Structure 1
Amino acid sequence: MKFTKVLTVVCIIGFVAILGMSGFAAEEEVEVHKKSWWDLFQTTGPVGIMLVAVSVAGTALSIQYAVNLRQEKLGPPHLISELETLLAEKNFEQTLSICDADRSYLARIVAGAVVRGEAGYEEMKKGMEESISEEAFRLNAKISYIALIGNIAPLLGLLGTVTGMVTSFQKIEQMKSPTPADLATGVYESLVNTTMGLFAAIVFLTIAFFMKNKISAMTLSLNTIAGELLSRSVMENPQQ
C-alpha cells in the first residue's frame, strides 16, 4: 500500500513536470471540443480493455452470487420440515439420502452430523462443526473473487497512469516544442484509466463487503437451525 501511494505521488509530479516542459506555448485561442465518454475511452489503450474485461467478469459474478446466495437456496424451508421429522424419528439413513440429493448449505452441514449418527450426539455435533467450517469457507471463497477484482482494478488503473506518462514523455522526446494539446493523449490515457480503476474498485469492494456480511448472517441463522434440529433428535431420544 505504501508503494502504491509513493508511485501515485511520483505520477502526479511527473505530470506537473510534463506540463511545465511544454511551456504552455499555444498562445492562440482554440475552440474547445468536449469529448464524449466514448472518445475518452478510446484514449485508454490496452489497459482500458483489461479494465472493461475485469469489470464484466466482476459484474457477472456479482449477479450470479446475488441470485444464488439467498437463504431460501442455502436452507430451503421444505428441507427443514423434512429434516425435523426424520431426525425426530432418528431415521439417519433417509436423512442422509435427502441431504445428498439436496446439496444445499443446510443439507451439507446436517449430513456431516448424520454420517456419525451411530457414534452419539457429541460425535454428531463435532461432525456438524467440521462441515460448517468447510461450507463457510466455500461460500466466502466465492466472494473472494469479487474482492480480488476490486483489488486488481486500481492497480490496472495505476498501470494505465504509467503508460500514459510514457506516451507523454515520448511526445516530448519526439517534438521540439510540444504544446499541451500534443501531450493531451497521454494525459487522457493516464487519468481515464485511473478513474476507471478506482470506480471499479469502489463498486466491487463494496459488493464483496455486503455479500460477506450477508453470508455471515445467513450461515449463522442456518447453523442455529441445524443445531436445534440435532438437539431435538437427542432430546426426544435420550438413550443416545
Structure 2
Amino acid sequence: MRYLTLLIALFTVSFSPLTPAAGTLTSEAKTAQQQEKQHNASREAKFKQEQQALLAKKKQLAERKAQLDASITSLSDQFSTNEKTLAEQQKQLHLQTGSLGELFGVVRQSAKELQVELSHSVANTEQIQQRADIDTIVAAKTLPSIQELTTLWQAFNAQISSSGTYATITVPFVTGAGEVTTIDAVRLGNFALLAKQGPINWDGQLASDFPRLPDNVSRYEDANNIVTGQTAVIIDPSRGDIYHQLAENPTLTQRFEHGGVVGKIIAGLFLIGLVIALYRAVVLLRIEQQIGKQLKTPETPTNNPLGRVLSVYNHDKKMNVEALELRLLESIMDEQQHLERGLSMLKLIAALAPMLGLLGTVTGMIETFQVITQFGNAEPRVMAGGISMALVTTVLGLITAMPLLLAHNLLSSKADAIRNILERQSVGLVAEQAEVHSTEQRASYAA
C-alpha cells in the first residue's frame, strides 16, 4: 500500500503545473524507500543471527542428550552387573559362614537376656565391667569374636557366682521425702537387699522402701543367721514382685474407703440395725426368762408380759367369759406391740441396704463411663475408682442385708414364741373361768 501511494503521488506530481515541488516529493519518496530497505535488511540479518544461535543450542542439547543416554545405558549395565555380583557374594558368604549366623543369633539373644538380668540384679553395682561388655555385644552388628564369646562366658560365670554369695554393700537410697542418700545393706545373692527397716526395693540404680511388707520380715541384722541357716525366714526370690503384689491388694479399710459416701451410709445403717438387733435380742431373752419364772409362780404376778396378763385376769375374772376373753386379748395385743418394737425398722434397714448398694453400683458405673469418655479405655487403672465403688457398695449392701434379715427372722420367731405362750395361758385361763361359770350354773339349776 505504501508503494502504491508513492506511485500515485509521483504520477500526480508529474502532471502538476508545479514542476519544482514535484521534484522535491520524488526525492523524499526515494529517501523513504531507501530507509525502508535498510530497516528490512537489518531485521533479516537479526533473524538469521537468532536462527543460527538456536541451531547451535539445539546441536548442543542433542549432544548432551546423547551423552546422557550413553551414561544411562552404562549405569544400567553396571547396576545389573553389581546385582549379579552381590547375589553371588551373598551366596558365597552364606556358604562360608554356615552355622555362624545361628551362633550370632544365639549369642545376641543370650546377651540380651543377661543384659536384662544385670539391669535388675542387686549385684549389678559389683559388675560394672561385665555390664559394659554385654552392652557392646548386644549393640554389635557383626559376628562375635572369640574375645567377645569369652567375655560373655565370664559374665555368666560372674552372675552365677554372685547368686550364691552375700555381701555388705552401700547403695543409693530414696527416702519418702524424695531425698537421695546412701545406706548400708546386705545383698543376698542376686535377688534381695536387706536394710535396717527390712527388705528394700532395687530398680537397678536406686533403692527405696516397698509400699507394704508382710509381718516378721528379715532385717539387716538377721543376714548372718539367714546364711548359716539358724533362722528360718521367708524371702521374696522374685526381686520384690511379690511384695509389690501384696501392696496392690488393699486392706479392709482401703476397700471400705473405695465405697465412697454410699458405702459409709450403708455402714451406718448396718451399725444402727446391729444395735437394734442386739438390744431387742437382750430384751426378748430377758422377757423369756421372766416368763419362765412366772410360769412357776402364776399366783403372784410380777412385772413381765405374762404377769401383766395374769394381773388383768385376776382383776377382771368376775366378768363373763366373753368379756374376759376380750380383755385378755387386748392385753396380749398390747404386749405384742412391745415385743415387736424395733423389728419393723430392722426389716426396713435389711431391705434398704441392697438398694443403696445398687445405687452405689450405678453411680460407680456412671463414673467409669465418664472416665472412658474423657480418657478412653486404654488404661484400666484410670477406671479402677469407679469400678471399685460399684463393686464395694454392692458387697456392703449384701453384707448388711443378710445378717440383719437373719436377725429379724430370729427375733420375730422369738417374739411369736412369747406371744404364743401368752395366748396359750390366756386361753387356759378363759377355759378355766368358763368351767367355773358352767359349774355355778349347774349348781343353781339343781337348787
Q: Residue in 2 aligned with 1:39?
A: 254
Change (3 A) 1:56 1:135: same
Map 1:199-238; keep pairs closer than 5 Å. Answer: 199-232=399-432, 235=435, 238=439
Q: In the aligned structure 2, how far is the partner of 1:167 from the partner of 1:236?
A: 75
Where 2:250 maps in the other structure, the secondary structure is: coil
Matched, 1:64 2:264: no
Q: Which amino acid is 1:77 matched to? A: K
Q: Residue in 2 aligned with 1:125?
A: 325
Report how far residue 222 of structure 1 moved. 2.9
Where 1:75 maps in the other structure, the secondary structure is: helix
Matched, 1:171 2:371: yes
Task: State the Cα RMSD in Å.
Answer: 2.8
Which among 67, 75, 85 is matched to residue 299 of structure 2? 85
Q: In the aligned structure 2, how far is the partner of 1:110 from the partner of 1:156?
A: 46
User: Does the 8 A contact of 1:75 with 1:106 survive in 2?
Assistant: yes
Matched, 1:52 2:267: yes
Q: In the aligned structure 2, how far is the partner of 1:113 from the partner of 1:183?
A: 69
Change (3 A) 1:115 1:142: farther
Q: In the aligned structure 2, how far is the partner of 1:140 from the partner of 1:78?
A: 21
Q: In the aligned structure 1, how far is the partner of 2:313 from the partner of 2:346?
A: 32
Q: Residue in 2 aligned with 1:4?
A: none
Q: Residue in 2 aligned with 1:75?
A: 291
User: Does the 8 A contact of 1:75 with 1:222 survive in 2?
Assistant: no
Q: Residue in 2 aligned with 1:139?
A: 339
In terms of fraction of residues, the more strand-rich structure is: 2
Report how far residue 176 of structure 1 moved. 4.5
> Identity across aligned pairs (percent)?
27
User: Does the 8 A contact of 1:157 with 1:195 survive in 2?
Assistant: yes
User: Does the 8 A contact of 1:113 with 1:123 survive in 2?
Assistant: no
Q: In the aligned structure 1, how far is the partner of 2:331 from the partner of 2:317?
A: 14
Report how far residue 37 of structure 1 moved. 1.2
Report how far residue 62 of structure 1 moved. 1.1
Q: Residue in 1 aligned with 2:361?
A: 161
In terms of fraction of residues, the more helix-rich structure is: 1
Normalising to structure 1: TM-score of the pair?
Answer: 0.70
> How far does the alpha carbon of each residue in 1:87-133 deviate from its partner, in whole angstroms, 9 at most, with x for none?
xxxxxxxxxxx66xx2x222343445455444323211121123223
Report how far residue 74 of structure 1 moved. 5.6
Q: Which amino acid is 1:85 matched to? A: E
Q: In the aligned structure 2, how far is the partner of 1:142 from the partner of 1:80?
A: 30
Report how far residue 139 of structure 1 moved. 2.2
Report how far residue 53 of structure 1 moved. 0.6
Q: Which amino acid is 1:130 matched to? A: E
Where 1:69 maps in the other structure, the secondary structure is: helix
Q: In the aligned structure 1, how far is the partner of 2:272 from the partner of 2:290?
A: 24
Q: In the aligned structure 2, how far is the partner of 1:127 from the partner of 1:214?
A: 24
User: Does the 8 A contact of 2:294 with 2:307 survive in 1?
Assistant: no
Structure label with greater radius of gyration: 2
User: Does the 8 A contact of 2:321 with 2:433 survive in 1?
Assistant: no
Where structure 1 has 5 or more consecutive residues not aligned to the other structure, the ranges are 1-28, 87-97
Report how far residue 65 of structure 1 moved. 1.0
Q: Residue in 1 aligned with 2:396?
A: 196
Q: In the aligned structure 2, how far is the partner of 1:106 from the partner of 1:184?
A: 58
Count of residue correspondences: 195
Q: In the aligned structure 1, how far is the partner of 2:407 from the partner of 2:289?
A: 20
Bigger mean CA offset, 123-132 vs 172-181: 172-181
